[in-house]
Each structure stands twice: as structure tokens, then as C-alpha cells.
Amino acid sequence: MGDMVVALKNYRQGLKLFESINELEGIAISLNNVGYVLQNMAEFNSALEYYKRGYELKKSLRDSSGMGLSLSNIASTYEFLKQPKKAIASYLEAIRLQSLIGDFFGIGWFGVNLFFMLSGFVLYLPFVRGRNFSVKQFYVRRVQRLYPMLMICGFISISFFKASHDSF
């Protein structure tokens, strides 16, 4: 924890420096860094405030990529605060922004985070509904859903591989 306290102190000093010279990009990055450290220290509400301030600054700078990253941080903080609707909305907005600027890596990154969040939520539903959850039954259903597509993709891949090597 000592390293986090030192990091927080240093990032806050950097934030003050950037604010003193009105370096907006540096302020936005520093806000994100402070939020990150606070999130790692489980101070989620404080982290959320810093992330939101950074988002607003990125928005004023018209930095869509930076806005997307800020929204992803906001979404992960909402996950920790057990507010899935807000987390999903933030991830979807981040994906929308990244698609507008053609950042497919960003879309994939945020999409994977959203997928994992939703997967955890879906696995939690049987407990909320008062049903018993069988791990064995879960995997049986999962294999029944995924195995046919795995076989089709495998067949297509092998066919393409053989076709490309038969021409030599």
C-alpha cells in the first residue's frame, strides 16, 4: 500500500503543476492517473470523481479516443460499485466513440471488457432468481452451444489450409 500512497502523492503533485500552467492535456492525464491509483486503493467514489473530471476535460478538448478511455475507466469503477447499468452504458458509449474515429483496437478492448462484465452478470442471475446453479450443467450446455460452431470453423479452416497448400 505504501507504493500506492507515494504514487498518489506524486500524481497529485503533477496535477497541481499542470493546473498551474494550464496544460489541459496534462491535467486530463493526471486526473486519470489519480483516479487509477484511488481505484486500486478501493476508494471508488473518489476515483469516479477524478475519472469524470478527466472525461469532461477530454470532451472539451474533443479527444474522442481519450473520452473512450475515460469512459472505460468510469465503467470499471461502476463495476466495483456494483452499478452494472451505469457500467454497461459507459462501455457502450466508449465503443460508440471508438467506432466514430475508426479505432478498432479500442472497440475490441472495450468490447472484451463489456463481454466479461456481462458474462459475470449472466452467471450471477441463477443465484438472484433463487435457482440452484450446477457447474456441471453449465458446462454441458456450454459445450452443446459451442461445439457445433467449433467443428464448422475447424472444418472451414482446415479446408482453406489444404486448398492453399495444394496449389504449391
Q: What does the pLDDT look like over 55-96, one tens digit per residue?
A: 999 999 998 888 888 988 999 899 889 898 898 888 888 878
On the 0-12 / 13-18 / 19+ scale of CB atoms within 10 A, 57 is: buried
**CA–CA dist 72, 98 (Å, integer):** 11
Backbone angles phi, psi at 124, to 5 degrees: -80, -25
Of the chain, the end-to-end C-alpha distance in Å amounts to 60
Say whether pLDDT at 32 is over 90.
yes
Q: What pLDDT does 144 receive?
A: 85
Residue-wise burial string across 94-108, b where 16 or more C-beta atoms lie within 10 A, e elsewhere: bbebbeeeebeebbe
Q: Confirm if 65 and 54 have CB atoms less than 8 A apart.
A: no
Average pLDDT of the segment spanning 21-43: 94
